[in-house]
A and B are shown apart, each in its own frame.
Chain A
Amino acid sequence: MECNYSNKEVLFAALAGVLYSLFGIFNIAEGIGVNTGLAGILFVPGDILGGICLVVIGTVFLYGLKEMRQGINAGVSFVYVGILLSLVFMAVYLLIMAGSLLDSFIVPDDYEGWSIMETFRPGIYLGLISIAGMLYWKDSFSLHEVLVFREGY
Chain B
Amino acid sequence: MTEKITVALAGNPNVGKTSIFNAITGSKQHVGNWPGVTVERKMGKRVHNDLEMEIVDLPGTYSLTAYSLDEIIARDFIIEEKPDIVVQVVDATNLERNLYLTTQLMELGVNLIIALNMTDLSLAKGDRIDAGKMQEFLEVPVVSTIGSKGNGIEGLLEEITKEFQRPQETDNVFTYDDAIEKVSEDLESVLESDPFFIHYPSRWFSLKLLEGDENIIRKAKESDSYPGIEKILNKVDAELLEAKIADQRYKTIQTMLRQVCNINTCSLSGSDMVDRVVTNKYLGIPVFLSLMWAAFEVTFTFATPFMNMIDIFFGWLAEAVTNVISVPWLASLVGEGMIAGVGSVLIFLPNILLLFFMISLMEDSGYMARAAFIMDKLMSRIGLHGKSFIPLVMGFGCNVPAIMATRTIEDTRDRLITILITPFMSCGARLPVYVLLAGAFFGRDAGVVIFSLYALGILIAVVSAKLMRGTVLRGEDTPFIMELPSYRVPTLKGSAIHMWERGQIYLKKAGTIILIGVVGVWLLASLPAPGSNAVFASDAIYGTTQSVIGVIGQFMEPLVAPLGFDWKIAVALLFGVVAKEIVVGSMGVLYGAGENEDNLSQILAAGAMTPLAGLGLMVFTLLYAPCFACIGVIKRETGSWKWTMFQLLYGTSLAWIFAFIVFQAGSRMGLLV
Asked whether the complex places CB atoms of A and B closer than 8 A, the reply is yes
Q: Which residues of A contact B (CB under 8 A)?
A: 49, 52-53, 56-57, 59-60, 63, 74, 77-78, 80-82, 84-85, 88-89, 92, 95-96, 98-100, 102-103, 105-107, 143-151
* A148 with B294: CB separation less than 8 A: no
- How many angstroms from the CA of A106 to the CA of B289 in the assembled complex? 31
With a CB–CB cut-off of 8 A, which chain B residues contact A99? 298, 301-305
Shortest Cβ distance from A4 into B: residue? B268
**Chain A CB within 8 A of B272 CB:** yes
Shortest CB–CB separation between residue A72 and chain B, in angstroms? 10
- A-contact bits for B283-322, CB 8 A (1 contact / 0 none): 1001101110110011001111100110010000000000
* B125 with A53: CB separation less than 8 A: no
**Chain A CB within 8 A of B248 CB:** no
**Chain A CB within 8 A of B255 CB:** no
**Chain A CB within 8 A of B262 CB:** no
* B286 with A56: CB separation less than 8 A: yes
* B286 with A59: CB separation less than 8 A: yes
Shortest CB–CB separation between residue B526 and chain A, in angstroms? 29
With a CB–CB cut-off of 8 A, which chain A residues contact B273? 74, 77, 80-81, 149
Give the interface segment out of B23-31, B274-282, B530-538, B599-607. Answer: B274-282
Say which residue of B121, B267, B287, B303 sits within 8 Å of A150 (CB atoms). Answer: B267
Q: List 5 A-B contacts (CB under 8 A).
A: A56-B289, A77-B273, A89-B294, A95-B298, A143-B124
Shortest Cβ distance from A107 into B: residue? B308
**Chain A CB within 8 A of B126 CB:** yes
* A148 with B126: CB separation less than 8 A: yes
- How many angstroms from the CA of A103 to the CA of B308 in the assembled complex? 8
* B270 with A145: CB separation less than 8 A: yes
Q: Are A103 and B305 also in contact (CB < 8 A) when A59-B283, A77-B277, A96-B297 are?
A: yes
With a CB–CB cut-off of 8 A, which chain A residues contact B170? none
Q: Which 3 A-B pairs have the closest CB atoms?
A: A146-B270, A77-B273, A99-B302
With a CB–CB cut-off of 8 A, which chain B residues contact A151? 266-268
* A53 with B277: CB separation less than 8 A: no
- How many angstroms from the CA of A92 to the CA of B264 in the assembled complex? 37
- How many angstroms from the CA of A82 to the CA of B283 in the assembled complex? 11
With a CB–CB cut-off of 8 A, which chain B residues contact A98? 302
Given A92-B294, A148-B124, A150-B267, 6 more pairs with CB closer than 8 A = A63-B280, A82-B277, A143-B120, A143-B121, A146-B271, A149-B269
Interface centre among A96, A98, A146 (most CB of B within 10 A): A146
State how many residues of chain B have any CB contact under 8 Å with chain A: 39
With a CB–CB cut-off of 8 A, which chain A residues contact B308? 103, 106-107
With a CB–CB cut-off of 8 A, which chain B residues contact A100? 301
Say which residue of B271, B277, B290, B297 sits within 8 Å of A147 (CB atoms). Answer: B271
- How many angstroms from the CA of A106 to the CA of B309 in the assembled complex? 7
Shortest CB–CB separation between residue B546 and chain A, in angstroms? 33
With a CB–CB cut-off of 8 A, which chain A residues contact B290? 52-53, 56-57, 85, 89
* A148 with B286: CB separation less than 8 A: no
Q: Are A56 and B298 also in contact (CB < 8 A) when A147-B125, A148-B269 are?
A: no
Say which residue of A81, A102, A143, A145 sits within 8 Å of B274 (CB atoms). Answer: A81
- How many angstroms from the CA of A105 to the CA of B309 in the assembled complex? 10
- How many angstroms from the CA of A151 to the CA of B276 in the assembled complex? 14
- How many angstroms from the CA of A69 to the CA of B305 in the assembled complex? 47
* A85 with B276: CB separation less than 8 A: no
* B121 with A147: CB separation less than 8 A: yes
Is chain B's interface secondary structure helix, strand, loop, or mixed overall?
A: helix
With a CB–CB cut-off of 8 A, which chain B residues contact A60? 277, 283, 287
Shortest CB–CB separation between residue B500 and chain A, in angstroms? 19
Shortest Cβ distance from A81 into B: residue? B277
- How many angstroms from the CA of A53 to the CA of B312 in the assembled complex? 34
* B270 with A147: CB separation less than 8 A: yes
With a CB–CB cut-off of 8 A, which chain B residues contact A148? 124-126, 264, 266, 269-270
With a CB–CB cut-off of 8 A, which chain A residues contact B274? 77, 80-81, 84
Interface centre among B126, B264, B286 (most CB of A within 10 A): B286
Q: Are A63 and B302 also in contact (CB < 8 A) when A145-B270, A148-B270, A150-B266 are?
A: no
Shortest CB–CB separation between residue B30 and chain A, in angstroms? 32
Shortest CB–CB separation between residue A133 and chain B, in angstroms? 15
- How many angstroms from the CA of A57 to the CA of B269 in the assembled complex? 22
With a CB–CB cut-off of 8 A, which chain B residues contact A82? 277
With a CB–CB cut-off of 8 A, which chain A residues contact B125? 144, 147-148
- How many angstroms from the CA of A81 to the CA of B274 in the assembled complex? 6
With a CB–CB cut-off of 8 A, which chain A residues contact B289? 56
* A88 with B312: CB separation less than 8 A: no
Shortest Cβ distance from B276 into A: residue? A77
With a CB–CB cut-off of 8 A, which chain A residues contact B302? 95-96, 98-99
- How many angstroms from the CA of A107 to the CA of B287 in the assembled complex? 34
- How many angstroms from the CA of A92 to the CA of B354 in the assembled complex? 13
* B305 with A81: CB separation less than 8 A: no
Shortest CB–CB separation between residue A109 and chain B, in angstroms? 11
Shortest Cβ distance from B287 into A: residue? A56
- A-contact bits for B451-470, CB 8 A (1 contact / 0 none): 00000000000000000000
- How many angstroms from the CA of A146 to the CA of B269 in the assembled complex? 7
Q: Are A149 and B270 also in contact (CB < 8 A) when A52-B290, A96-B297 are?
A: yes
Shortest CB–CB separation between residue A112 and chain B, in angstroms? 16
* A92 with B298: CB separation less than 8 A: yes
Shortest CB–CB separation between residue B262 and chain A, in angstroms? 14
With a CB–CB cut-off of 8 A, which chain B residues contact A146? 270-271
Shortest CB–CB separation between residue A139 and chain B, in angstroms? 12
With a CB–CB cut-off of 8 A, which chain B residues contact A107? 308, 312
Interface centre among B121, B303, B304 (most CB of A within 10 A): B304
With a CB–CB cut-off of 8 A, which chain A residues contact B264? 148
Say which residue of A78, A85, A144 sits within 8 Å of B124 (CB atoms). Answer: A144
- How many angstroms from the CA of A89 to the CA of B292 in the assembled complex? 11
Shortest Cβ distance from B282 into A: residue? A63
Shortest Cβ distance from A148 into B: residue? B266
Shortest Cβ distance from B271 into A: residue? A147
- How many angstroms from the CA of A80 to the CA of B273 in the assembled complex? 9
* A53 with B294: CB separation less than 8 A: yes
- How many angstroms from the CA of A151 to the CA of B269 in the assembled complex? 9
With a CB–CB cut-off of 8 A, which chain A residues contact B277? 60, 77-78, 81-82
- How many angstroms from the CA of A78 to the CA of B275 in the assembled complex? 10
- How many angstroms from the CA of A143 to the CA of B309 in the assembled complex? 41
Shortest Cβ distance from B294 into A: residue? A92
* A56 with B294: CB separation less than 8 A: no
- How many angstroms from the CA of A81 to the CA of B365 in the assembled complex? 14
With a CB–CB cut-off of 8 A, which chain A residues contact B278? 81
Which B238-272 residues sit within 8 Å CB-CB of chain A? 264, 266-272
With a CB–CB cut-off of 8 A, which chain B residues contact A96? 297-298, 301-302
Interface centre among B270, B303, B308 (most CB of A within 10 A): B270
- How many angstroms from the CA of A85 to the CA of B286 in the assembled complex? 12
* A56 with B276: CB separation less than 8 A: no
- How many angstroms from the CA of A102 to the CA of B301 in the assembled complex? 10
- A-contact bits for B112-126, CB 8 A (1 contact / 0 none): 000000001100111
With a CB–CB cut-off of 8 A, which chain A residues contact B276? 74, 77-78, 81
